[in-house]
Amino acid sequence: MRLAIDVMGGDQGPLAVIAGSARAVVENPSLELILFGPRQQILAELSRLPQPLAAAASRLVACDAPDSILSSSTAAWALRKGRSSSMAHMLRSVAKGEAVAGVSAGNTAALVALARRELGMIKGISRPAISTAIPARAGRRCYLLDLGANVDSPASRLVDFARMGAAMAQCVDGTPMPRVALLNVGSEATKGSASVREADRLLREYANDDAFTYEGYAEGGDLFKGQFDVVVCDGFVGNAVLKASEGLTSMLVERVQMAFESRLSGRLASLLAKPVLKRLKRELDPVRYNGASLLGLRGIVVKSHGSTHADGFYYAIQRALKEVEHNLPARIAGRWQASSFESDGAR
């Protein structure tokens, strides 16, 4: 199995991406990764990998892509000037079938624009949506989308997001009938923007026994209760919610640990509670949830956090492998085609 990696996208530099890639290869003997970036720089970083990561270097293939897209670059600039960038090379590798998926920690706007051009969209879907899973009560998780690909979305696009999110929950998690909600500022029918209210009307008409159950509006606090499998919003709201949730989670874990260590008696309690704290940090650590899917494309592309370190990039690769395992784009396309036939028959 071969994946394509954009080495130059992350804020932490190529080493974090390459180290995370090496860990993924070490744990998966059937995996090979194509690393796109300045070849000599990639080879230099590979030579610095510690054991046992260095043992996987033979399955990390350096491919020369001399240019990179800066975090300050616009999507329009990337489309005009970014054809020789590591990101564009990575996406073309997926489009040509040389790799089954691509992973980048680079500029989100550029990645969305270039992915649309290089891979194309599933028929019937106008724009991709960025989605990831967030932890919820009782060991459940909830898919939140969009997370930044579409800052302002009309009602029809929010309906598309609901359908894609439901397909993700059904295909990847095996949820037979995903419960879908619209993120809003209240549960009353009169609350929210015009596009959200119109999306609510459309979803009540669309939702059926074969696709998902529409649960109406969800408020911010409902995301973590485990009541919903998919929560839909525009990219501006989704990105703000995700970043705030990650920051709050990190702060809470640190505060709990500090509370145990603040007094002498607390230090003994800290030793006793260490296994529980370790488990809590492992389950809630945002690093474990790194890797957001670009849904709606004809190929698999995963967006890693730009600020991620090696461990986070490793989890983004695991996300891509999960989608390859479930052949996610083909299954979403199949659901879209089936729903189109049903709509035509109804007319």
Q: What is the pLDDT of residues 302-317, one digit of tens each?
A: 999 888 889 999 999 9
Give the Cα-Cα-Cα angle 118, 336, 104 (nearest 5 degrees). 35
**In sequence order, what are the beta bridge partners of 227?**
none
Each residue's pLDDT tens digit, 277-334: 666 666 666 677 788 999 999 999 999 988 888 999 999 999 999 999 999 998 888 8
- Concatenating the DSSP letter of every residue in 298-336 gives SSEEEEPPTT--HHHHHHHHHHHHHHHHTTHHHHHHHHH
Do residues 180 and 232 touch, judged by C-beta distance below 8 A? yes
d(CA 218, CA 211): 19
pTM of the model: 0.86
Q: How confident is the model at residue 273 (pLDDT cuts 50, 70, 90)?
A: low
pLDDT for residue 161 = 93
5, 35 contact by CB (below 8 A): yes
Model confidence at 210: pLDDT above 90: no
Q: What was the pLDDT predicted at 54?
A: 82
Report long-range pairs for 204-211 (Cβ below 8 Å, ≥24 apart): 206/159, 206/162, 206/163, 207/180, 209/177, 210/338, 210/342, 211/163, 211/166, 211/335, 211/339
